[in-house]
């Protein structure tokens, strides 16, 4: 006989993902410049020069965009986010890969020590879940910095 107290003592979790756009109509990434343009099109034009934000574009096995996620909002000089959230969204959407981006308002688009350390932590943590970091971009309105193009991603 089932104990009714045990059933009502826990929450039932539901994890859902409902893509709005059919897979056949989604954007396919071919270059890092494509990804930069996608991020730029989805960034608040005034925010990009005011405070740091982190966003993620998730991709399927064919580099087709699953979606974009606003990961965190920070201050004028840094943005902090939880790698668990980044990874959980990737797993939830069945992403095979992702590109992380954050902006540097009013500062050069070169990585700080903190940017490099965060990139390595994200890459190593998500690798365990088989969701691969393709690149980390630092962006502004005019251009981007690519960790991949500069050879700063770990060879895992």
pLDDT tens digits for range 120-139: 999 999 999 999 999 999 99
pLDDT tens digits for range 71-113: 999 998 899 999 999 999 999 999 999 999 999 998 799 999 9
Under the banding of pLDDT at 50, 70 and 90, the label for residue 11 is confident
What whole-number distance in Å separates Cα of residue 8 and Cα of residue 64? Answer: 41
Domain boundaries, given as residue ranges, for the chain: 17-146
- CATH for 17-146, among 3.40.140.10, 3.30.2130.30, 3.30.465.10, 3.40.50.2300? 3.40.140.10
Name which of 74, 59, 67, 80 is nearest 122 in CA terms.
80
Name which of 133, 130, 64 is nearest 101 in CA terms.
133
Q: Is the pLDDT of residue 31 over 80?
A: yes
Q: Is the pLDDT of residue 145 over 80?
A: yes
Q: Is the pLDDT of residue 49 over 70?
A: yes
pTM score: 0.87
Q: Is the pLDDT of residue 16 over 90?
A: no
Please tell me the predicted confidence (pLDDT) of residue 20: 77
Q: Nearest 5°: phi and psi at 150?
A: -90, 0
pLDDT tens digits for range 55-70: 999 999 999 999 999 9
Please tell me the predicted confidence (pLDDT) of residue 4: 63
């Amino acid at each position: 006989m089932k104990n009714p107290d045990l059933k009502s003592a826990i929450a039932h979790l539901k994890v859902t993902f409902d893509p709005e756009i059919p897979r056949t109509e989604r954007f396919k990434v071919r270059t890092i410049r494509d990804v930069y343009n996608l991020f730029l099109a989805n960034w608040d034009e005034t925010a990009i020069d005011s405070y740091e934000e982190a966003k993620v574009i998730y991709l399927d096995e064919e580099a087709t965009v699953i979606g974009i996620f606003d990961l965190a909002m920070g201050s004028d000089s840094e943005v902090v986010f939880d790698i668990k959230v980044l990874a959980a969204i990737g797993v939830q959407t069945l992403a095979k890969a992702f590109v992380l981006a954050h902006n540097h308002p009013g500062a050069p688009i070169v990585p700080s020590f903190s940017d490099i350390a965060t990139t390595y932590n994200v890459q190593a943590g998500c690798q365990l879940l088989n969701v691969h970091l393709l690149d980390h971009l630092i962006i502004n309105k005019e251009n981007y910095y690519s960790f991949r193009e500069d050879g700063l991603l770990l060879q895992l």
